[in-house]
Amino acid sequence: MPKGGVVLPTTDIKGSWFLAPYFDTKDPDWIVPIQSLKRGPPSFNTDAFRRFGGGFPDQELITAIAGRCVDPKDWGRHEVDKQVLFSAAHGSGMDAWRFVTEANKVEKDKQHLFGFHISVCPPVYPAMFSPTGAVFKKNRLGEINYEVRRPTSDLSWPAPGHWMEWLVKSVNHSVNLEQDFPYVKWMAFKDFAQQAALLASWGEKVV
């Protein structure tokens, strides 16, 4: 039993390992599977979300949100288990570092995000790290709030054609936009009104 309170597997498993405590203590007993980490409580009702999304075609999306995990079934496609990627933040993230730091602090206080000193990096192996950026936020009136910015993660970096693509693939590299997602048609209010008017013209009761 390691000091972290998690039994290490006796056979090889395909997954990631949490290394931060090991770098801090130099004790290999602290190396534990990433599955052993416990996340803080979510900020919304995941059970209600799962029930609400019961009829949604993309059940993988529902599972990713309500189950708070992403199915790693595509990892073998680009051998992410053999790669470790460190990447600098985008220029927007560097320019707005105060906003990013404050936003990250809020998430850390909620235990939705964990931060590690550079001395304990990489905290997870194997893993892929995406550049951080920042974009302006809008208020409810659609006006840009220049006092607040929202941090972003560029899961599609390195972009196709970038020289780094020869070394590592982006997190979204394995996503097939034509096969992995169901057909979705965005519906405007005018489309909804036209459908209601069409049903009414056929004699259907429209509430």
Q: Where are the domains of the chain?
A: 76-117+128-175
Structure tokens belonging to residue 25 = 């203590």
CA distance 4 to 29: 7
Please report which confidence band the pLDDT of residue 163 belongs to, taking 50, 70 and 90 as the band edges: confident
Specify the higher pLDDT residue, 56 or 68: 56
The per-residue pLDDT for 8 is 36
Cβ atoms of 46 and 31 closer than 8 Å: no
Cis amide linkage into residue 126, ω under 30° from 0: yes
CA triplet 32, 35, 151: central angle to 5 degrees? 105
Interatomic CA distance for residues 80 and 66, integer angstroms: 24
Question: Which DSSP category does 108 fall into?
Answer: H
Q: How confident is the model at residue 14 (pLDDT cuts 50, 70, 90)?
A: low
| Mean pLDDT across the chain | 77
Confidence bin at 181 (pLDDT 50/70/90): low
Range in 68-72, 93-97, 148-152, 163-167 with the lowest mean pLDDT: 68-72
C-beta separation of 8 from 27 below 8 A: no
